Amino acid sequence: MKPPAIAAFFATLQAANPQPVTELEYTSVFELLTAVLLSAQATDVGVNKATRKLFPVANTPQQILALGLEGLEHYIKTIGLYRSKAKHLMQTCRILVDKHGGQVPRSREALEALPGVGRKTANVVLNSAFGEPTMAVDTHIFRVGNRTGLAPGKTPYEVEMQLIKRVPTEYLIDAHHWLILHGRYVCQARKPQCWRCGVATYCDFTPKTPAP
């Protein structure tokens, strides 16, 4: 995908969804961090169902710690890998209280030092909570980046670096939201819905899938 096509690609996505946001539900930076940590290998829908019960009871590091491990597991047991996620979240809360005054840090280094928080999770928090132009490359963005020719790469990190380099500056803040939503609902893994894709004109993928 050539630079003029990239600009048109994102202009089209922006016109269709001017203010994209994550589908995870949260009202604070800590709630966002918690939801993203719980979302690994789980759906946003599933995470939201659990956090709608958890957050009214405990939505600060101190309150999560007060629940105890078994108490936390009770609220998130419907989420895949809930035991390990509960353990990581408890450890993260302890670090937030002991080292950061109960606040979520704004630096990548500090975020990635938290148990269960990898580069992708840190990127989501830095972008959605703090407005940093980061690219949280999940399976959807990895697929869209490669399939469209927008940001080819063999690893999520390679795709991330390509996106940072190739996406026009004015679209960087919102780009990862547009790409996730596009991959989730249109440019799907098994059957990309090219016949209803608003950016198919700029995409390198061929052949286009015919309408059913």
The CA distance from 88 to 79, in Å, is 14
CA distances from 136 to 38, 91, 123, 141, 158 (A): 15, 23, 5, 8, 12
Q: Assign residue 200 a region: left if phi > 0, alpha if psi is -120 to 50, beta otherwise? A: alpha
138 is catalytic: yes
Catalytic position from the list 120, 174, 191, 208 = 120
44 is catalytic: no
Residues 157, 26, 78, 44, Cα dihedral to 10°: -50
Peptide bond preceding 18 in cis form (omega within 30 of 0): no
Catalytic position from the list 138, 174, 191, 204 = 138
Active site residues: 120, 138
